[in-house]
Chain A
Amino acid sequence: MIVLQLVINGVLLGGTYILLAQGLNLIFGVMGIVNIAHGAIITLAGLFTYWFATETHQSPLLLIPPVFIVMLVVGGILQRLLLEPLAKLGRSRELLTLMVTFGLSYVLVETALNFFGSQYVSLPDLQTTWSVAGLAFNEALVAAGALGALISGGLYIWLRYTASGQALLATSQNPVGAVTCGIDVRRMRAIAFALGTALAATAGILLILILPLSAPTADTLTILSFVIVALGGLGDYRGAVMAALLLGLVQSGVGYYLGGDAEVVVPYLLLITFMVVRPQGIGHATR
């Protein structure tokens, strides 16, 4: 019974993790860079949600649509200002972009520190638990997992079945080919980054419902997202989903049997193991 409970919790947690990872995955796929400020965006959104919920006593889920749209705009602006100038460079582009997003991360973290302090916070809302057939379903976990999966699925459908989404996919698979098809690759990069940050912010809104967040530990979320993306094979959509679920399950189990501290180390150890054993990630078919 415990095992089944842990599995359920793990799957729901995985649903939220999927959302965490997709933002990073999208940016990596289309732009070939890892956004180190990813965790800072998640945390900032989460802390803002906390403030909103405690000040206005409204449901935090109300924030999802406006924050998504605002972050789309902000992300697009950030990309144009900070990252597009680097897009023309050759070999050094990867490292310099890492630097820029590294700097951005600290700007955001300091902002969060100044506005929201350095304490861990989480929302007491949605903590009711439904009991179904002897298994406990935590409302926050269900909401986060379900919404995460929903948004992620919606993203997938948009990418695969709409013209604009396919343009984005095309750019991630072959930028030069995309240009020859008439796709505005510059716009695609801006859209990818905007979407990536919007997804990260949404993930933050959902994450604060189930996990405590704090400004100083923002980059652990970057690492977590990166682990999921790397485990799944950088840029691989389905791989990321599998990795998110795997991580959710493992963390659920480890958290129960070994405690909170071990839980923190799990993503890192998983990543090291996979890097040594199967560096291309679990998503790809055997070569």
Chain B
Amino acid sequence: MGQWLERRLSAPPTTPATAARGPRPLAVAILVAVIAGAGAVPLFTSAYVLQLATDILTFAALAYGWNIISGCTGYLSFGQVSFFGIGAYATSVLVLRTGVPWYLAALIAAAFSGVVAALLGTVMLRLRGIMFALGMLGLARILVVVASDWNYIGAAGGLTLPAQLTPVAVYLAMWVAVAGAFALNYFVLHSGWGLSVTGVRDEETAASAIGVPTARIKTAAFIMSALAPAAVGGLVAWNRSFIDPPSAFDPTLDLQVIVFALFGGIGTLWGPALGTLVLVIVGEQFWAYLPDLQLALYGVLVIAVVLAFPGGIVGIANRFGWLRRRPVLAPTTLPSVSRPPQPAPPGDETIIEVRDLTVRFGGLVALNGISLSVRRGEMVSIIGANGAGKTTLFNAITGFVKPSEGGVFYRGKSVSDIPSYQRARQGIARTFQIPRLMESMTVWENTLLAARYGKRGGDAVEQAAWALHTVKLDALWLEPPSKLSPGQQRRLEMARALALNPTVILLDEVMAGMTRDEQGEIRAVLRHFRELGVAAVAGVEHVISAIADISDRMIVLDRGKKIAEGKPDTVLRDPLVIESYLGKVS
């Protein structure tokens, strides 16, 4: 059952081998019908239907806002109502005290809310998911208290607003809000920039290793998620002509929004709209009979959806081939890009240098004053028994671990102050021991994401196509990583590294668990690294037989120190090296 749940959560690909682009005629027709119908509602229906439609739009906008931070970015927020309330109060205060027209006030309030989100984000987005979720929950509760004591905004008594809006005006304004929120979701789910958001959600560490500025991306997503609730809050305040702390920061709003988005399909483009539409209409009929159980039933619904169909309506539709997500920026067919052998950009002789590097984890000394270098044109293999510090070395070079002493130099300059994503962008690429691929993206998108942040950012599509062609993954370009064999996943990691157009590639146990054939495929790529425009390669490896003959130099680590260095043949016969692996022969 668990595995079934897990599979429901990853977005299935479109039909393999081709990815059609452009809107389908049917979709356009539906869109036109919807817009026409929307305009017709106020003209041809009763006030009750108009109110219902407005409610649906209100919740849809809120659900779309929530979807961006919680669904698309993976940072579950239980307090988006904070922005709703901030927007409500900001709009009201603006109109009451400065006479700005209400629609303008709502926009300004939305912008203000975005600023608040930016400030909040610097603190809260640094935390793990759980902390963020509960932090937002707490924020909403705190804001009620703050608002109740703040006289400028009416304190506990709230603010009364003169009735200025007709129901039709509110209805139309809500349409604008929904359209805006929908557009933001579309941008996050279908643009090249938005791919970074998905990357952060799926594998934040790996995203950082391929150049994604994760903190900035998260903050941007958070800001985007704050805009819709604030605008809606402002409009609702005016529609009701009254706001006070409990209604502005009403926690049940959060519950409803979460239920609707979850029911429709969290993290999808159509989920929030579908979920809101179905549940508001169904709810209308229901609540007449069971007014006292509304919250409880919503709670039960959340549980039921999570346990039975966490992908929501869209997840179920996907199983029938509907509403499937299109891969981002995918050409109709994958171009077969091969380039003539090209040298790496000329320059420095020493690509990576590590001086007296010491890394301690509490009492454990993982690296003890290591110095080594990787020079232009060579492939260096770093071997050693388990616990020798090999992966720690790579982590220190790429910025995932802070050295306790010593320095890391890239092309002659110290990189100690440079965060890992920037090191990746400057040309240090790495692969991971256990492949960290973005599961809800296709092979193509995984590679494209890296290509966007590489040194050839402008030609990202071409670069990604080239990288996939080089590792011979063209045929599988629209598959999700879960459908790849372990060998293919390793090759995808390499494609990702190549897509960055790197100067140096650091391979972390790339041969582990590979069959001989799979090893051969990777060796084929490594043999010709110089022609791919890469200046140097360093590989940490246990499967020595797979890399000994293609390495120019071999370095052996043992318990954090370097114990041998030289040509592979010599090193492998060194008694100290043998002893570190096999023990002393007495």
Q: Give bound CA distance, A114 to B295, whole Å.
A: 11
- Residue from the list A88, A98, A272 in contact with B123, Cβ < 8 A: A272
Count chain A residues whose beta carbon lies closer than 8 angstroms to a beta carbon of B.
49
A70 interface hit (Cβ, 8 Å): no
Q: Give bound CA distance, A88 to B255, whole Å.
A: 26
Q: Are B6 and A86 in contact (CB under 8 A)?
A: no
- Residue from the list A86, A222, A226, A272 in contact with B5, Cβ < 8 A: A86
Q: Are B303 and A265 in contact (CB under 8 A)?
A: no
Closest to B120 in A: A272
Q: Are A265 and B148 in contact (CB under 8 A)?
A: no
Q: How far does the Cβ of A229 sit from chain B's closest Cβ, in whole Å? A: 10
Closest to B2 in A: A88
Chain B residues with Cβ below 8 Å from A109 are: 295
Chain A residues with Cβ below 8 Å from B300 are: 103, 107
Interface string of B118-138 (1 = CB under 8 A from A): 000001101101110111011
Chain A residues with Cβ below 8 Å from B251 are: 219
Q: A34-B134, A223-B138 are in contact. Are A100 and B2 (CB under 8 A)?
A: no
Q: Give bound CA distance, A111 to B310, whole Å.
A: 25
B296 interface hit (Cβ, 8 Å): yes
User: Which listed segment binds B: A8-16, A89-97, A142-150, A242-250?
Assistant: A89-97
CB contact list, B115-172 vs A, under 8 A: 123-124, 126-127, 129-131, 133-135, 137-139, 141-142, 145-146, 148-149
- Residue from the list B127, B293, B301 in contact with A279, Cβ < 8 A: B127
Closest to A94 in B: B129
Chain A residues with Cβ below 8 Å from B145 are: 261, 264-265
Count chain B residues whose beta carbon lies closer than 8 angstroms to a beta carbon of A.
49
A276 interface hit (Cβ, 8 Å): yes
A99 interface hit (Cβ, 8 Å): yes
A110 interface hit (Cβ, 8 Å): yes
- Residue from the list B5, B124, B130, B255 in contact with A98, Cβ < 8 A: B130
Q: Are B5 and A261 in contact (CB under 8 A)?
A: no
Q: Are B296 and A106 in contact (CB under 8 A)?
A: yes
Chain B residues with Cβ below 8 Å from A276 are: 123
Q: A100-B306, A219-B141, A219-B251 are in contact. Are A87 and B2 (CB under 8 A)?
A: yes
Chain B residues with Cβ below 8 Å from A107 are: 295-296, 299-300, 303
Q: Are B123 and A264 in contact (CB under 8 A)?
A: no
B102 interface hit (Cβ, 8 Å): no
Q: How far does the Cβ of A113 sit from chain B's closest Cβ, in whole Å? A: 8
Q: How far does the Cβ of A267 sit from chain B's closest Cβ, in whole Å? A: 8
Q: A100-B307, A114-B292, A261-B148 are in contact. Are A223 and B141 (CB under 8 A)?
A: yes
Chain B residues with Cβ below 8 Å from A268 are: 138-139, 141-142
A157 interface hit (Cβ, 8 Å): no
Q: Give bound CA distance, A102 to B361, whole Å.
A: 36
* Interface SS majority for chain A: helix
Q: Are A222 and B3 in contact (CB under 8 A)?
A: no
Q: Are A110 and B296 in contact (CB under 8 A)?
A: yes
Q: Give bound CA distance, A234 to B127, whole Å.
A: 12
Q: Are B149 and A261 in contact (CB under 8 A)?
A: yes
Closest to A225 in B: B134
Chain B residues with Cβ below 8 Å from A110 are: 292-296, 299
Q: Give bound CA distance, A241 to B299, whole Å.
A: 32
B242 interface hit (Cβ, 8 Å): no
Q: A99-B76, A111-B296, A264-B142 are in contact. Are A86 and B135 (CB under 8 A)?
A: no
Q: Give bound CA distance, A56 to B24, whole Å.
A: 70
Closest to A234 in B: B130
Q: Are A279 and B307 in contact (CB under 8 A)?
A: no
B40 interface hit (Cβ, 8 Å): no
Closest to B246 in A: A216
Q: Give bound CA distance, A92 to B307, whole Å.
A: 12
Q: A86-B5, A223-B134, A287-B362 are in contact. Are A106 and B255 (CB under 8 A)?
A: yes
Q: Are A98 and B295 in contact (CB under 8 A)?
A: no
Closest to A34 in B: B130
Q: Are A102 and B123 in contact (CB under 8 A)?
A: no
B1 interface hit (Cβ, 8 Å): yes
B210 interface hit (Cβ, 8 Å): no
Q: Give bound CA distance, A276 to B123, whole Å.
A: 7
Chain B residues with Cβ below 8 Å from A261 are: 145, 148-149
B298 interface hit (Cβ, 8 Å): yes
Chain A residues with Cβ below 8 Å from B262 are: 99
Q: A85-B5, A89-B6, A98-B76 are in contact. Are A219 and B123 (CB under 8 A)?
A: no
Q: Are A103 and B298 in contact (CB under 8 A)?
A: yes
A18 interface hit (Cβ, 8 Å): no
Instruction: Give the interface centre of B126, B134, B148 by most chain A CB atoms within 10 Å.
Output: B134
Q: Give bound CA distance, A96 to B262, whole Å.
A: 11
B248 interface hit (Cβ, 8 Å): no
- Residue from the list A85, A94, A287 in contact with B130, Cβ < 8 A: A94
B435 interface hit (Cβ, 8 Å): no
A181 interface hit (Cβ, 8 Å): no
Q: How far does the Cβ of A74 sit from chain B's closest Cβ, in whole Å? A: 16
Q: Give bound CA distance, A34 to B129, whole Å.
A: 11
Q: A91-B202, A219-B137, A223-B138 are in contact. List 15 more A-B contacts (CB 8 A).
A: A82-B303, A82-B307, A85-B1, A88-B6, A96-B306, A99-B258, A102-B78, A102-B302, A103-B301, A110-B296, A222-B134, A223-B141, A264-B142, A275-B126, A275-B135
Interface pairs (30), CB distance under 8 Å: A33-B130, A34-B133, A34-B134, A85-B5, A86-B2, A86-B5, A91-B202, A92-B5, A92-B9, A95-B76, A96-B306, A98-B78, A99-B258, A100-B307, A102-B78, A103-B302, A106-B255, A107-B299, A107-B300, A110-B292, A110-B295, A110-B296, A111-B296, A113-B295, A219-B141, A264-B141, A268-B138, A272-B123, A275-B135, A276-B123
Q: Kindly list the 7 A-B residue pairs having the minimum CB-CB distance in the complex, ordered from nearest.
A: A88-B2, A103-B302, A106-B299, A110-B296, A107-B299, A103-B299, A110-B295
